[in-house]
Structure 1
Amino acid sequence: MNAPDPLASWRLEVDKMVAKMQTPEAKAGVDRLMAATPEELGAAAVRAAQKERLSPLATMLPESDS
């Protein structure tokens, strides 16, 4: 009796992830990343941190009437 491969689902997940990284959009994103200045990278990091920090709160805040 052959035991199921415990890594089969992980391999499938990694294969899908690698395929996504090969799309033209992903490649263009890497090109933008590599061409970014330190200032652009810093600003992007700040935006990402703010978005991550605020997103759980956004679901708890009441909607504004404006």
Structure 2
Amino acid sequence: MLTLNLGDRKSESYALQWKHIDFEKGYVSLIQSKDKFGNLKSTKGRKATKFKIPTFLIELVKEWKQK
């Protein structure tokens, strides 16, 4: 669901960690990606990208985190 709303690459979604989500401000920071071996690497553009995500999605991700 998050990837559909962000429009990011799969490798960037696979590398997302809870610390990359700012629940207070409603932002996700994409700062790394994973290669096909599961190793963390920089994003394709070699820079962090910050996305604002909708409130309903923040709530959904919060629920998911609590499980």
Per the normalisation by structure 2, the TM-score is: 0.25
| Higher RCO, Cα 8 Å, sep 6+ | 2
Structure ranking higher in helix proportion: 1
> Which is higher, the Rg of structure 1 or of structure 2?
1
